[in-house]
Amino acid sequence: MAKVLVIKSSILGSYSSSGLLIDELLAASAKQDPSQIVVVRDLGAQPLPQLDGEILGGFGGAAEQTERQQAAVALSNELIAEIQSADRIVVGVPMYNFGIPTQLKSWLDYICRAGVTFRYTEQGPEGMLANKPVLLVTTTGGMHRNTATDLALAHVQTVLGFIGLADQHVAYAQGLGMGDEARQKGLDSARDEARAFLVA
Ligand SMILES: Cc1cc2nc3c(=O)[nH]c(=O)nc-3n(C[C@H](O)[C@H](O)[C@H](O)COP(=O)(O)O)c2cc1C
């Protein structure tokens, strides 16, 4: 049974465009494989505690762990286990102020763990997660694809590649704030790319 991990990160709830595209994709995917198991993490609805010095100390293996550190390490382990047990991963990547939502940044902060998901060798950094297909569903109000301002997608691609998830696919909906026609065009183009991921 195929297992799909879905990471949603919009703060716009039912108005989210990345959420809309992901839900459409999951519906099509369930039709194709009704036995698939889907695990959804909605970071906008249920944000993770923000990384700070205390939590980082917990990740670093401080000998005397506070309750908060223990909880953060357990959560981080859980998030990493979700990735490890998935066959495919879908991540919503909305652009907010040229970057990613802070909620998605927190997820990245919890899954990047030295000695667990990456390590440094004499040859440089090495991702420790087993490679698997990842679809990044990116949504932007303006036009950014393949330009110097395509920072949200580049950030997520870089971090996931760093921890070993290099088999990355993109469904890119841009121009969503530029009027009805541009919005429709942006969504349709992303739908085509999401469909390609489904059959790949
Ligand atoms: C707080 C906020 C900041 C935004 N900043 C940008 C931006 O810097 N560039 C851009 O093109 N669109 C920007 N947008 C538009 C979003 O990228 C667009 O609404 C997209 O659909 C967001 O994805 P979502 O609907 O899944 O949350 C912003 C939207 C919000 C809510």
**CB of 46 sitting under 6 A from ligand 1:** no
Give me the numbers of helices (H) and strands (E) for the chain, helices first please: 6, 7
Dihedral over alpha carbons 149, 150, 153, 155 (to 10 degrees)? -40
Question: What's the pLDDT tens digit per position in 58-73?
Answer: 999 878 999 999 999 9
Nearest CA to ligand 1 atom 10: 141
Nearest CA to ligand 1 atom 28: 96
Per the structure, the count of domains in the chain is: 1
> Identity (one letter) of the amino acid at 129?
L
171 membership: H or E segment, kind and range:
strand 168-173
**CB of 175 sitting under 6 A from ligand 1:** no
- % the chain with pLDDT above 70: 99
**CB of 177 sitting under 6 A from ligand 1:** yes
Biggest alpha carbon distance in the chain?
58
Nearest CA to ligand 1 atom 7: 97
| The overall pTM is greater than 0.95 | yes
Nearest CA to ligand 1 atom 12: 141
3-class secondary-structure state, position 157? helix
Q: Strands across the sheet with 37-42, in order?
A: 37-42, 3-8, 88-94, 134-139, 168-173
3-class secondary-structure state, position 27? helix
CATH number at residue 131: 3.40.50.360
**CB of 120 sitting under 6 A from ligand 1:** no
Q: Which domain holds residue 103?
A: 3-199
Beta strand ranges found along the chain (DSSP E): 3-8, 37-42, 88-94, 118-121, 124-127, 134-139, 168-173
Question: What's the pLDDT tens digit per position in 70-110?
Answer: 999 999 999 999 999 999 999 999 999 999 999 999 999 99
| Contact by Cβ (8 Å): 88, 133 | yes
